[in-house]
Every structure is written in C-alpha cells, then in structure tokens.
Structure 1
C-alpha cells in the first residue's frame, strides 16, 4: 500500500514508519519541519497542498497532535483553541479532505490518547481534544464507508517513561511495538469506527 504518514519524525511516527516499511508498504513521511514532505496539517490550506503533492494514496495515518498542558485556571480561550486546532481540526481535515483522495476501500488512522478517559492534572485541553477526535471517528465511520477510520489511544509510551512517567502515576505504560501493531491492524484490517485502547 501507499501510505501517507503524518508526524513521521516523532518517536511514535518513526516506529510506525519502520513497522509499515518492514511490511512492504510504501510510506510517504510528512513533518512540519523535517522530511521530504513538509506540511503543517493544522493549516487546512496546507492539508490540501499535501494531498495535491502526493496524489492518491491507499491509507492515511497520523501520529501527531499538539495540545497545551496547564491548570484549568491558567488556561485561556486561545489555549483550548490551540488544542482543537493542533489535534482535532488537523486530523479532521486529513479525513474531510482525504475522502476523495484515497482509495475506494482505503483507511484513515488517527491518534488520541488515554487522557480523555483517564485525565491527569493539567490535561483538560488534551482530554477535550482526545474525546473530540474519538467522537469524530465514530461518526465519520458510518458516513465514509467503504472507506474506514479508526483511532489509536495509548497511555504513556514505555520508551518515554523517563521523561513523562511522573505525569501518569499508576497508569500502565505501553511499548511502542504494541502501538505500531495497532496501526498495522487499523490499516491492513477490516474494522472501522474503532478506538484501540492500549495500556
């Protein structure tokens, strides 16, 4: 398959890239500031330009999405807007604009996370964004068939425990290898409208 991979330079994106390449797929890596395809998917115009640049693909996978982390009383409206733009609207635009650009039975795989079901301190924007993405996935799945859409929703990566483990007390971490297998399942499988909860 020809697969468009957003956020390919990040820790998760790099692992997904490797796993898909090892399975014989042609992966087109996209990043904001690195890689051969440099587009900011938070800008709908750049999403359109990206699809124009790559032509038709079989699948689109996203491993990117930014949200601010602050206490609720320190958040401003612009912070919640940034979370919506950085993680929700960006991935919605990949799907909305991608429906006519991917194969008839192609798929979309987007990223959410544990915080919408198990929030931690300072995570209100991330929880909001993740919940919105998951709700969108369930709604979009019933409209875009036979194309498919699923979400990957992990806890903290085992490989990132040194950096982020203290923010997720008591939550079981999940290995990147397990997360990449969920991407493979979403892309190569037949399910749609699913949220794969990992960890």
Structure 2
C-alpha cells in the first residue's frame, strides 16, 4: 500500500506518519518545508505538483491546514479567508485533484476537529471551517469516481500538546495513539462519507 501523509511534521500528522511507517513499506510524508515532498494547500498548483512527483497512491491522509484564532468581535473578513483558503478550500481542492492520482477504491481522509460541534473561545473561524468540511465530506463522498472513499477525522485536543487535566471545548484531551488508531481503521475498512469523532 502506498500512503501519503500531508502535514507529516505536525502534532497529529507526525504521529500518523511515524506509526504507519512501522507496518507499511511505502509512506510518503509531505509538508510545507519539505525538501523532497513540499506542499502548500493554499495553492492548487502545489498540490498537483506533489501528486505528479509520486506514483499512484492507495491512500491520502491530510492533517494540515490552519485558521485564525481571535475573539469573534475582532475577526475580519481577511481573517476568515486565511482558514477558508487553507483548511477549507485546501482540503476541498485536495479531494478534487487526488482522484486522478489514486488507485481504484483508494482512500482520502481529511482532518477537522471538535470545534465543528462544540464551542471554544476565540475559535469561531475554525468552527466555521470544520463544520463546512463535515458537510462537504458527507455530500462529495457520494460522487467520487472509481469507488474512491472519502472520510474525515474530528479529534479533540491532543493530550501532551494540550494540558491533560484541562478541558478544551468542554472535553478533556484525547490520547494521540487513539487518534492515530482512527486513521488506521479508515485505511482498512470500506467506509465512505464518515465523520469519525474522537473526543
């Protein structure tokens, strides 16, 4: 199985990348500053350039994307567009382009988070994007070509990266091993259109 992990140096992405390398022979790690597999999700041409460097893939996991954290009263239109261009349209464009570079019955897994459903101060911009991605996955998964599957993982705060005894959006942090386990589960099942919540 040939797997691409985008955001392979982030908290979640690095854990996925390092875990999958234990059991799969071909796991590519891509991130913005990579010398070998660079990607900028805000640019369609960057996404396509990465795919052209790689062989046909069986699975693509995205754990990259950013948004602005600010109180609602301070958010500007430009602040919203940071997240829209990166975490929202970056993932949407990834799905559109990935279909051409995946094998039949391949898998695409996106990443959102707890903020799609639960409130946390200063996170309105990210909540908007997470909720939009959930709706996108539920709908677009019905129309992908060649039985390609599309799912999304929505984790809470990650223990260690966030204080383990402090609640985030009303929930205590989750273990990174449990989060990685969800991505592994999606790799090995036949689901599509799923929103996998772990918090």
Q: Same fold (TM over 0.5)?
A: yes
Partner of 2:122: 122
Confirm or deny that 1:96 pairs with 2:96: yes
1:108 aligned partner: 108
Q: What is the aligned partner in structure 2 of residue 198 from structure 1? A: 198
Paired residue secondary structure (2:33): coil
* Equivalent residue, structure 2, for 1:85: 85
Residue 172 of structure 1 deviates from its aligned partner by 2.2
Q: Secondary structure at the match of 2:21?
A: helix
Deviation of 1:169 after TM superposition, in Å, equals 5.9
- How many angstroms apart in 2 are the aligned matches of 1:175 and 1:78? 34
Deviation at 1:19, TM superposition (A): 1.7
Give the Cα–Cα distance (whole angstroms) in 2 for the partners of residues 5 and 157 of structure 1.
18
3-state SS, counterpart of residue 94 of structure 1: helix
2:151 corresponding residue in structure 1 = 150
Give the corresponding residue for 1:75. Answer: 75
Q: What TM-score, normalized by structure 1, do the two folds share?
A: 0.94
- Aligned pair count reads 198
User: What is residue 188 of structure 2 aligned with on the other side?
Assistant: 188
> Residues 122, 23 of structure 1: CA spacing in aligned structure 2 closer, same or farther, 3 A cutoff?
same
Residue of structure 2 equivalent to 1:32: 32
- Which structure 2 residue ranges, 5 or more long, are not aligned? none
C-alpha displacement of 1:161: 1.9
The C-alpha deviation readout for 1:35-69, integer Å capped at 9, x for no partner, is 52112121111011111111311111001110110
Change (3 A) 1:165 1:144: farther
2:162 counterpart SS class: helix
Contact 1:29 1:35 in 2 (8 A): no
TM-score, length-scaled by structure 2: 0.94
CA RMSD of aligned residues (A): 1.6
Contact 1:3–1:25 under 8 Å retained in 2: no
Give the superposition deviation at 1:26.
1.2
Which secondary structure state, in structure 2, belongs to the residue aligned with residue 196 of structure 1?
A: strand
Q: 8 Å contact 1:5–1:13 — kept in the other structure?
A: yes
Rounded Cα–Cα distance in structure 1 between residues aligned with 2:24 and 2:47? 26
Q: CA deviation at 1:165?
A: 7.1
After TM superposition, give the deviation of residue 186 of structure 1 in Å.
1.2
CA distance in 2, matches of 1:35, 1:6: 14
Give secondary structure in 2 for the equivalent of 1:22: coil
Task: List alignment gaps of at least 5 residues for structure 1.
Answer: none
* The structure with more helix, counted as a fraction of residues: 1
